[in-house]
Structure 1
Amino acid sequence: MGTYRELQDALERQLQQLAQLPELKGPNLQRLMDKLRTNRFNLVVLGAFKRGKSTLINALLGEAVLPTAIVPLTSVVTILGYGESLKIMVHFQNGQTREITQPELADYITEKGNPHNQKGVREVEIEYPCEYLKDGVRIIDTPGVGSVYSHNTDVAYNYLPQVDAAIFVVTVDPPLSAAEQEFLKDIREYVHKLFFVLNKIDYVETGDRQEALDFTTAVLKENLSADRVMIFPISAKLAMAGKSNGHPEYLKSSQLPVFEEHLRQFLYQEKGRVLLISCLNGALKTITDSTLGLKVERQASGLPLQELEEKIARFNLELQGLEKEREMSLLLLDGRVKGVIKDLDADLEAFKRETTARLRREVEQTFHQKSRLAGDLRKEMEEYLFSALRDVFITWRRQEIDKLSQTLTATHQEFAGRINAILERLAQSTARIFDFSLRGFAAEEAFTELSSFWFRFKDDPVGLEILQMTVTSLLPRALTKGLLLKKLLENVTELVDKHCGRLRYDFHQKLQEIARDFRQTWLAKIDDTTQSIREALERARTQKQSSTQATKEKTGELDRRLEEILQAEAQLLALKDRIEATFH
């Protein structure tokens, strides 16, 4: 579906061809192909209700997948990704999951069908067979910014650091609200990946559109403190009619295709190029490893046995030095992870103190307000306390994940850099000992951006359903108002402390898993390279027991295999030049 897809397909074909070569069989190329196929461009859609967000998403998809409503949506986030057929999964806050049909969707993600999110929905995932999504885009639909439901804006804001691009939907009428303008001021730091869509241009005369565009641009620049903003006038309604009913003139009039092309180019330029080059360099690294073993075997086969043994001894000595560097890298990684955990614990302790004090004040104020009107005061306070605890924990957790993701990305880059340096010294030392030339070392990039760490932590805090049951169990059935308030205030501290403990355990477990993945992924590269060289040397040593003719035939075979791999390498390098030229 465009230049990026063509380059992705071309690279995947070359990786498949490489995987057929005996020397390149193994998990490395398969891992690169999986990374190439499963990567997603995360696109979040923001905007106040009644701006046409759902209609815009449906227009991008080319079909009315999402319900369009005139009332604010709940705090439920909807994630749309590619699937071979329509599949809708509802994920609840208690950890349960349910598959639903499309007609049922409105019962879970709209305020009318799910008022105040009474059904406890965490998020909804939709798989859909759409070309737009098949090209690697994953759309994240957030609640309305500035909605009458206070935590909706927080949900929208918390997704911004984790995505590759964001669409902010405004309309020609009414103008930007005060809530929208405040939101824009808060997200100034993300202006580089914000696209603004001026929707409903079909509502105004052609001559008035430029005036509306100029006015909206000026307001956006002022609120974002930016010299330039990316704003595209469109009609999602016309685009939807054009795509669904086969009216190309409607689609052209909607101006959506112009916006789609700019957005696609941005995503591929920013992230697509990095992904393609990362996978391509990974393949070049695999080729370097395989040719390294072949070249070692080729050179070693021509050496007298005594000289070969001397060179093997030198190689083993080099490995001992590199092993010390490897152990040092592991120690540094462990130290970095311990530092992350220490900072996390300090953040959690500060959060616990501040949250306990604030919630006690808010619970007391709310109690006095409700005690004058409430019919079932105990039940209403239970619901209020759980809602307050849920909102504060979810918000803090997402903010902490953003902070952790940045730290982990830097840690990963540092560790990967150290391992790549060890691999380069291993390759160069081997080439020097066995006296052969080696093409420039191709280090595999540590293609792990913020969103990959964020989605590792993405599931909402474990134990929210336990927290809800605890709120209920801690409040006895029969209490006077005075005792009820006293019990509520006592329980705030206990509830916050218990759930902080659950959060701490959950974070610690995931951090240890991520650190373990770091070690396994990158140390395996050293082990694979070392093992390849050792096996080559052992084959050369064994060959010394063969006849002169057999040795000559083996040398010729090694030369042919090397030539075949080097031809594949030349094709990869040509594709790399093409990718660089395309995204220059």
Structure 2
Amino acid sequence: MAAHRAAARQIIDQLRDLAAELELERVVVSARSLADAVSDGYRIMVLGAFNTGKSTLVNALLAETVPSRPASWPDGPLVAAPTPATSVLTSVHYAAQPSVVARGHDGSERSWPFERFRSESTPDGDADTQQLLSGIREFEVGYPALLCRAGVTLYDCPGLDDLPMRNAITQEAMRRCHAVLLVIRNDMLISLRERDAVRELSELGVPTLLVVNLYHRRHEEQFLERVWKTGMVDAQDGPPATAHRNLADHNVHLVDVREAWLSRSGRSGGSHVGVTELAALESRLGDVLDHGECAHRAALLGRVMTLADDLAHSIVERRHALRADASERRAHHDRAAVELAALRERSRRIDYIVNRTHDEAERLLIASFAETVTSIRADLPGHLRSLRLPSETVALLVFQQTRLLEEAAAEVSDFVGRRIRHWGEEIAPPVLRPLLDHMGELIEGELDLLSGRIQDAGLGDLRLEMRNLSGLTALGSTRAVALSTSVTLAVLSVAPVLFWPTVLVAGVGLTLVRASAADRIKAKVLLQADEQLAELSREMEGVIREQLADVFAQSGASVAAVLDEAMGQLARMAVVDRADRDAVLATLDAAGERLADLVRRLEALRRGAPGVGSSGGLTAGEGSPDA
């Protein structure tokens, strides 16, 4: 049976791993629960009220140990005393050396020395000890008993009438056991709680043997009738007593537990009565476990097959859901692509608005600058003639005429610069502002329309990007001033053409009288300035066009860039979605193949697992599933 259990456990573990890979937590939890139900041996619980001899029975069953056990070790792993000795659920499994692990209610684990366990685990300790024990859920004791080495784990529990929390822990462990030994005393009537326990175990399908602990060796007829009535009729709804009744045939065994323990421990003084009774109990327990193992195996494999079916159903459901989602996403991408193409076409309306505004701004700004230059040309002669330059107060020799020429040129340059700056600060912005405000309003309306259609198409992230463009298109007064300033600076960078060297050379060699020389120098400067202003007006048309082209290109290109990027992103998303879907489908297909292989192995296990031998007896060498 050990090979059968190992094979079942391996299948369960692989089902659990497969479910974990697919992130099917519900199936993982079910697989773990099933794995807990598959052990390497038998689990037997010794159950009963306080002080019925449960711990003594466990010690008797485990008294036979490995030959190397030191003589200083106690005769059994548990404390047995006339008063209640077990305060916490205790399991005993095989270990080469005695060991104890205390498991807390919080999942913690702590090792205890074996001697401390025997001295501090009983209910009669001081307040500090009882406080410590209240935080322990279960003791796990390792002990070199031959029975445990053969694969048997024994559970010793506190009394059935313990605290509700302790009772719940006992009941949870009881459901995981293969058999239960319910211990009662022959000098006490079976309690209502013990009768309920028998019925509960029967409903759970857990095989139960009633062990009547013989105090004072009472076998009289009256006692046997009372045992039959309380153990069979009252507790198990068994048949009424007859002259040919046999308690053992109905899993009721009379055992002097203390005598059996002393005999197994070699301290009985040669009496083997208790050992004989204990051996009969062990033989019957072995038969019950062998019979129950077959039913347990069938039920277990049935649960494993249900788990596999659940996993297969989950894989199919996920595959269908994935394909449905892929179809929906593909349709969404197609609809979004069509909508984006329509939006891209609609965005040309913004290009039209920008281009129209650009052309009008260019026309008005060039005209405005031309008017300003005309005004400068008209006002400059009167301004220069009205000035008395510093060098006009002295006789004009040749070098003084040159100085007068420089003074006149500087005054002209300052006058022209002030008028151009005035144009850039006071005249150009009011020309541009209404145009740019109107363009911003039109583009904002287009963005609102585009954003609404994007939202309707389910492209929310793109809608946010479109809204962010409002900062680029709401040009208004701030952009008008900035644009006028950039044009003004460009004009001023060209202004030095007013002062060509020919203007200065024209004055070289002049030997006129002071008055007529000053007038002629001013006239010469004015003539040269007028020619350069006319040239400046023509050159600034190109500067204005260049400055406006740079600014307006931002507005039209930004919207188109966002939409183009969105269309590219949508195409990339479609490719990624297909790749992800194909990868998940491939994973599901591989999982389906692995699951099919596990189901084939499970079906073979159900058909070909060997039966359990019927040569009964729960002994250290042959009563366990490892034998």
TM-score by length of 2: 0.39
TM-score by length of 1: 0.41
Larger-Rg structure: 2
